[in-house]
Chain A
Amino acid sequence: MTDTLQPDGGPAPGLQSGTASGSGAQAPLEDAAASRLQLVWRRFLRQRLAIAGLVVVALLFGVAYLSPYLGRWQYDQLDFTAFLEPPSASHWFGTTQNGFDVFALTMRGLQKSLVIGLLGALMATALAATVGAFAGYFGGAVNTALVTLIDLLMVLPAFLIIAILSPSFRGHTWLIFVVLLAAFQWMVTARIVRGMTLSLREREFVHAARFMGVPGWRIIFRHILPNMASLLIIDATINVSSLILAEVGLSFFGFGVQPPDVSLGTLIGDYANAALTFPWEFYFPAAFLVILVLAINLVGDGLRDAFDPNAQGHH
């Protein structure tokens, strides 16, 4: 009965409804049915909070990378005429004990946090997708080995291990730190991907590809992963905020980003003691962290609702 209620090419329920169908642009359809991408986009636009989140993230990005040209001070410049000054016209967010400009520091920290979050989330999701899909598609020994690896990594205390390893990569690039963060972030998603692969593997188009002689790895990257694109996009978005928080947590204790570089985490850690006495040192980086994470989570929620209209609150 439900098929009669929906127009042709209308939204298919569940996560299968997707990203990649841009047929509307290339080929005007006789029945003028909107393509899925357009429908998802339309549903996304309808959620004011998600739009607000997206705008905020974009603004933060812009301001973080334009800050060197906006403010008069760079993050590694000292102003010997102003120590511990409250916000003023020349130092918008005030200065620190050594004469660093808090605005410049915060923006630099924001840059680092954003990059670490995005890069790490991308790595974590890519790893999760690959491992999960290979385990699910090939089954057998591959599955056993990969699932054991996932289970093993899940019981390891990530925070502790990164903390222990951190002295050994001190002085090296912060990219190692990102890789480590991502390495402990992918397991839950990998299990979900494995589960979805198990059901996608039995879909007819996957059978069809297999009976044509297409090799397994190609089926995974061509047919299986694109068909859970919505899951992966949502997962990556949510990973961004959890990675930023993980970075902040580690940096707070001095295990993450190392000086002279700064991140929101090191700033919050360094100036937490000043929260009551010289609040501008602490509250500006803290406020940016809260705004950033909140905005990313709103975008993530919005994406989930747009991709899966049955999740909640639709109609």
Chain B
Amino acid sequence: MRVTAPGTPLLSVRDLSVSFRTEAGLVRAVRSVSYDVAPGEVLGIVGESGSGKSVSSLAVMNLLPGHAEVTGSARLNGQELIGQSDDALSAVRGSRIAMVFQDPLSALTPVYTVGDQIAEAILVHETVSRGEAMRRAVDLLHTVGIPNAAQRATAFPHEFSGGMRQRVMIAMAIANRPSLIIADEPTTALDVTIQAQILDVLQTARRMTGAAIVLITHDLGVIAGIADRVSVMYAGTIVETGSVDDVFYRPRMPYTLGLLGSIPRADAGERQPLTPIEGTPPSLINLPTGCPFVPRCPMAQDICRREEPGLLPIAGREPADTQRAACHFKDDIEQRQLTSRDIFPAPLPSSDAVRSVPREQRQQMLVVQDLVKSYPQMKGAVLRRKVGEVRAVDGVSFDIREGETLGLVGESGCGKTTTIMEILNLGRPASGHIAVLGHDTARMSGAEKFGIRRDLQVVFQDPMASLDPRLPIGEILAEPLRAHGVAPERVSARVRELLTLVGLRAEHVNRYPAAFSGGQRQRIGIARALALEPKILVLDEPVSALDVSVRAGVINLLERLRDQLGLSYLFVAHDLAVVRHIGNRVAVMYLGRIIESGDVDEVFDRPAHPYTQALLSAIPLPDPHKERARVRIVLKGDLPSPANPPSGCRFRTRCQKFANELTEPQRQRCIDESPALLPRTGSPDHLDACHWATAVEVL
């Protein structure tokens, strides 16, 4: 181990700036960033996309493309890294600093076995025999929790799932016992239960090697659980830094305050209004003078427009206090103990007029009964024949009543997108029924389907992909109106009305989608879906592609519209916190089946199915105290292939209850008999599909 004098930082970054020359102008991606990382500590860097958090750490590693202009200094144990030749840095990279990237798919070479790749990482920096390197590679794979490590070391990356690949990346990162690991959004591409596994592995890696970790993420929940200190980046610079507790419980920069107030929380029982930060992060080209947060800050004064505040300590704190904030009014916020709700205007809670009517008396808007969607598996190149089928959706039933929101949650591959596509196609399902407003889709004529499309509309996940880039937004919004024969003179007025409804300016009708930010585009997508005054809206992950600070605005908008217009939502999401916030009811899917459903508070507070319990326990909460005190249920392994699901209960291969609590005869029942969706916990509305369901509190 390398010895460092106590108190001296392991990594010391000073005045680091990075800029790129592009067609549109000079992009100042990182502006004068300074931070220290002490040996063995975890520094979380949090920020939205474009805040410079990744670029600043890539600059430290000298991994930026050649046209990046990097100035400033980054010293690792006193050794300067910026401006070094690639050769000189190669000795440092991988041995003293290691990196874990976001996308484990592209970070591994597809043509070599993972064992070879880890062994290579060892051989580059140490003189050991090939056999010895390979043996250590197997050890490392075992350490990061890959079962049958010796055998799996000879497998190729494509034979691993995303989570397993990320484990391999971590194994490679710790192969040479680095003193610093930079993890750039290591869990962003992964599902929440896999994220819990990877964060676990990262902690193990840290314990074993004693390495410091710089964890870059946009997820405040992840930071709260694992980091010691946190730095918040905005518009290329650090705007607040301090210990995790200080930043989470005593934020003093309005951006941090707003960010914390805008995240929906899975553990919030009563629905708290989210405080949205209006506007969007600034473009890093031609950044005006003054504080970059001014356009979005309700506290902004003239001084904020004139000069950019430095990152300074807060008045009245003890000298040892490490919290720094870049705001002219930080001391004011400190003295008056302002919270996000004091600074940012939160919308008034919406009225529940429709939902005050008992559920049974409200009209059924959408009914799905035993829906099955299967894809044939074909074999043979010339004479193709069916060798089997994949049941992507296997007997899904739910209903949505007037004015309510059903959250359909599950991890990727569970069949939630297939379910909504089946509904939206209005076709005849392979098996089961879909009824929209009482009309069975299997018996609909073409004209009836066209008519029902007015009432059933959709908002997609990716606002970049769901708007045609070639059409001005006025045309985009007019399209459904024209298709349904709305009189031309009405169209233009309606388009303006829609833009105002979703909080955009009506003068913008002639702009193209490229001129809008992600959040604004999603509002346009919502406006388009509302054009024909539908009764049911299918929302496919409507906020997951948006930046954290603009999510709250879109969620609030959706809530307001639902209550104002009496809409019913089918809200598909993998983010349980969002579902808890906006949902009235929730259905949890696993491998093509619904395994638990019921009232949202009931399911979140007293989950009965072991999978729901694991899912809820895997959500990181943006609350350091709670997060440290929690005991996580970490699921084993990955989602089984839907082509070959386990017999009986589909979850049993990963079930913590099956593995730890059940007796042999009980287990046999799980293997033999597929559990039906029944009320087992007392409440008649709360259904689950577990033979041995018991409600447990996990949040």
Q: How far is the CA of A295 from the CA of B511 in the complex (A)?
A: 36
**Contact string against B for A residues 13-38, beta-carbon threshold 8 Å, 1 for contact and 0 otherwise:** 00010111111001101111111100
Contacts of A21 in B (CB 8 A): 469-470, 512, 514
Residue among B25, B55, B457, B511 making CB contact with A27, cutoff 8 Å: B511
User: Which A residues from 105 to 146 make CB contacts under 8 A with B?
Assistant: none
Q: Which of A32, A212, A222 is B286 in contact with, Cβ under 8 Å?
A: A32
Once the chains bind, are B49 and A3 in contact (CB under 8 Å)?
yes
Bound complex: CA of A229 vs CA of B27, how far in Å? Answer: 29
Which residues of chain A are near B514, meaning CB under 8 Å?
9, 21, 23, 35-36
Main secondary structure of the interface of A (DSSP, over half): loop
A27, A31, A204: which contacts B508 (Cβ < 8 A)? Answer: A27
Set of chain B residues within 8 Å of A32, measured between Cβ atoms: 24-25, 283, 285-286
What are the residues of chain B within 8 A of A26 when measuring CB–CB?
510-511
Q: Mark A174-206, 1 if CB is under 8 A from B, else 0.
A: 000000000000000000000000000001110
* Cβ-defined contact, B450 with A7, below 8 A: no
> Any chain B CB within 8 A of the CB of A170?
no
Q: Decide if A245 is an interface residue (CB 8 Å cutoff).
A: no
Q: Among B22, B52, B458, B510, point to the contact of A211 (Cβ < 8 A).
A: B458
Query: Which one of A11, A29, A30, A226 lies within 8 Å of B23 (CB-CB)?
Result: A11
**Which residues of chain B come closer than 8 Å to A16, judged between CB atoms?**
469
Residues of A within 8 A of B483 (CB): 212-215, 218
Chain A: number of interface residues, binned into ranges: 35 or more
The reply to whether B283 and A31 form a contact with Cβ atoms under 8 Å apart is yes
Q: How far is the CB of A41 from chain B (nearest CB, A)?
A: 11
Contacts of B461 in A (CB 8 A): 204
Return chain B residues, CB-CB under 8 Å to A205: 465-468
Contact, CB under 8 Å: A33 / B49? no
Most B CB within 10 A of own CB, among A36, A208, A218, A229: A208
* Distance of A26 Cα from B509 Cα, bound (Å): 10
Interfacial chain A residues near B470, Cβ < 8 Å: 18-21, 223, 226-227, 229
Q: Tell me if A172 counts as interface (CB < 8 A to partner B).
A: no
Docked complex Cα distance between A23 and B461 (Å)? 24
B67 close to A315 (CB less than 8 A): yes
Q: Is B379 part of the binding interface, using a Cβ–Cβ cutoff of 8 Å?
A: no
Question: Is A286 an interface residue, CB under 8 A from the partner?
Answer: no
A29 to B514, CA, bound (A): 10
Q: Whose C-beta in chain B lies nearest to the C-beta of A208? A: B466
> Are B23 and A5 in contact (CB-based, < 8 A)?
no
Q: Does B284 contact A (CB under 8 A)?
A: yes
Q: Which residues of A contact B468 (CB under 8 A)?
A: 205, 209, 222-223, 226-227
Segment 342-389 of B: residues with Cβ below 8 Å from A: none
List chain A residues, Cβ under 8 A from B284.
Answer: 7
Contact partners of A215 in chain B: CB under 8 A: 483
Indicate if the CB atoms of B458 and A10 lie closer than 8 Å: no
Cα of A195 to Cα of B283 in the assembled complex, Å: 36
B58 contact set on A, CB distance < 8 A: 1
- With A11-B23, A203-B465, A213-B450 in contact, do A4 and B512 touch (Cβ < 8 Å)? no
Asked whether B484 is an interface residue with its Cβ less than 8 Å from the other chain, the reply is: yes
The verdict on A33 contacting B285 (CB below 8 Å), with A4-B29, A205-B467, A208-B466 known, is yes
**B495 shortest CB reach to chain A, Å:** 14
Instruction: Give the distance to chain A from B305, nearest Cβ to Cβ, in Å.
Output: 15
List which B115-143 residues lie within 8 A (CB) of chain A.
Answer: none
Contact B282 A204 (CB under 8 A): no
Whether B283 contacts A8 by the Cβ 8 Å rule is yes
Asked if B20 CB lies within 8 Å of chain A CBs, one says yes
Cross-chain contact of B511 among A19, A23, A208 (Cβ < 8 A): A23
Q: Which chain A residues lie closer than 8 Å to B460 at the CB level?
A: 204, 207-208
**Complex formed: what's the CA distance from A212 to B537 in Å?**
12
Which residue in chain B gives the minimum CB-CB distance to A37?
B512
B22 and A6 form a contact (CB under 8 A): yes
- Give chain A nearest CB distance to B459 CB in angstroms: 9
In the complex, whether A39 has a CB less than 8 A from a CB of chain B is: yes
Judge whether A204 and B484 touch: CB under 8 Å. Answer: no
Residues of A within 8 A of B283 (CB): 7-8, 30-33
Highest count of chain B CB atoms <10 Å: which of A3, A4, A31, A214: A4
Q: 0/1 per residue, B58-98, Cβ < 8 Å to A?
A: 10000001010000000000000000000000000000000
Query: Nearest chain B CB to A10's CB is how many angstroms away?
Result: 6
Name which residue of chain A comes closest to B26, CB basis: A7
Cα(A222)–Cα(B469), bound, Å: 11
Known: A211-B453, A212-B457. A7 touches B511 (CB 8 A): no
Interface string of A56-83 (1 = CB under 8 A from B): 0000000000000000000000000000
Shortest distance between the CB of A144 and any CB in chain B (Å): 15
Q: Which among B27, B469, B471 has the greatest number of chain A C-beta atoms within 10 A?
A: B469
Q: Is the CB of B457 within 8 A of A7?
A: no
> Which residue in A5, A18, A209, A315 is a CB contact (below 8 Å) of B469?
A18
State whether A29 touches B466 (Cβ < 8 A).
no
- Shortest beta-carbon distance, B31 to chain A, in Å? 13
B511 lies within 8 A of A4 (CB) = no
Contact flags B508-537 to A (C-beta < 8 A → 1, else 0): 101110110100000001001000100000
- A4 to B52 Cα, complex, angstroms: 7
A287 to B282, CA, bound (A): 55
Residue interface bits B455-497, CB-to-A below 8 A is 1, else 0: 0111011100111111110000001100110000000000000
Residue A42 is within 8 A (CB to CB) of chain B in the complex: yes
Indicate whether B693 reaches chain A with its CB closer than 8 angstroms.
no
> Does B50 count as interface, using CB distance less than 8 angstroms?
yes
B419 at the interface (CB under 8 A from A): no
Contact between A10 and B23, CB atoms less than 8 A apart: yes
Nearest-neighbour CB distance to chain B for A215, whole angstroms, equals 8
- A213 and B515: CB pair below 8 A? no
In Å, the complex CA distance between A8 and B67 comes to: 19
Instruction: Give B473's nearest chain A residue, CB to CB.
Output: A23
Most B CB within 10 A of own CB, among A20, A26, A209, A213: A213
The answer to whether A1 touches B462, judged by C-beta atoms less than 8 angstroms apart, is no
Contact (A204, B465) CB under 8 Å given A8-B517, A31-B282, A31-B285: yes
B480 close to A7 (CB less than 8 A): no
- Give the docked Cα–Cα distance between A22 and B514 (Å): 10
A residues within 8 A CB of B51? 4
Q: Is the CB of B469 within 8 A of A1?
A: no
Tell me how far the C-beta of A256 lies from the nearest C-beta in chain B, rounded to whole angstroms: 38
B189 on interface, CB distance cutoff 8 Å: no
Once the chains bind, are B466 and A204 in contact (CB under 8 Å)?
A: yes
Contact A9 B515 (CB under 8 A): yes
In the complex, what residues of A have CB within 8 A of residue B197's CB?
none
Contacts of A315 in B (CB 8 A): 65, 67
The A-contacting residues of B in range 424-440, CB under 8 angstroms, are 424
Using Cβ atoms and an 8 Å threshold, which residues of chain B touch A6?
A: 22, 27
Nearest-neighbor residue (CB-CB) of B426 within chain A: A211
B102 at the interface (CB under 8 A from A): yes
Q: Which residues of chain A from 134 to 177 have any CB-CB distance to chain B below 8 Å in the complex?
A: none
Are B23 and A39 in touch, CB under 8 angstroms?
Answer: yes
Asked if B184 CB lies within 8 Å of chain A CBs, one says yes
Nearest-CB distance from B596 to chain A (Å)?
A: 29
Q: Is the CB of A34 within 8 A of B23?
A: yes
Instruction: Please name all residues of chain A whose beta carbon is closer than 8 Å to the beta carbon of B511 when the two chains form the complex.
Output: 23, 26-27
- Asked if B54 CB lies within 8 Å of chain A CBs, one says yes
> Which of A9, A21, A35, A205 is packed against the most chain B CB atoms within 10 Å?
A205
A-B contact sample (17 more), CB < 8 A, given A4-B51, A222-B479: A5-B20, A7-B284, A18-B470, A27-B508, A31-B282, A31-B286, A35-B514, A35-B515, A39-B24, A204-B460, A205-B465, A205-B466, A208-B525, A212-B483, A213-B454, A222-B468, A227-B470
Q: Which 8 A-B pairs have the closest CB atoms?
A: A31-B283, A204-B466, A212-B480, A213-B453, A226-B470, A204-B460, A21-B512, A23-B512
16 contacts between A and B (CB under 8 A): A5-B29, A5-B55, A7-B24, A7-B25, A22-B512, A23-B514, A27-B508, A27-B510, A31-B282, A35-B512, A36-B514, A207-B458, A208-B528, A211-B453, A218-B483, A226-B468
* Interface, chain A (partner B; CB < 8 A): 1, 3-12, 16, 18-23, 26-27, 29-36, 39, 42-43, 203-205, 207-209, 211-215, 218, 222-223, 226-227, 229, 315
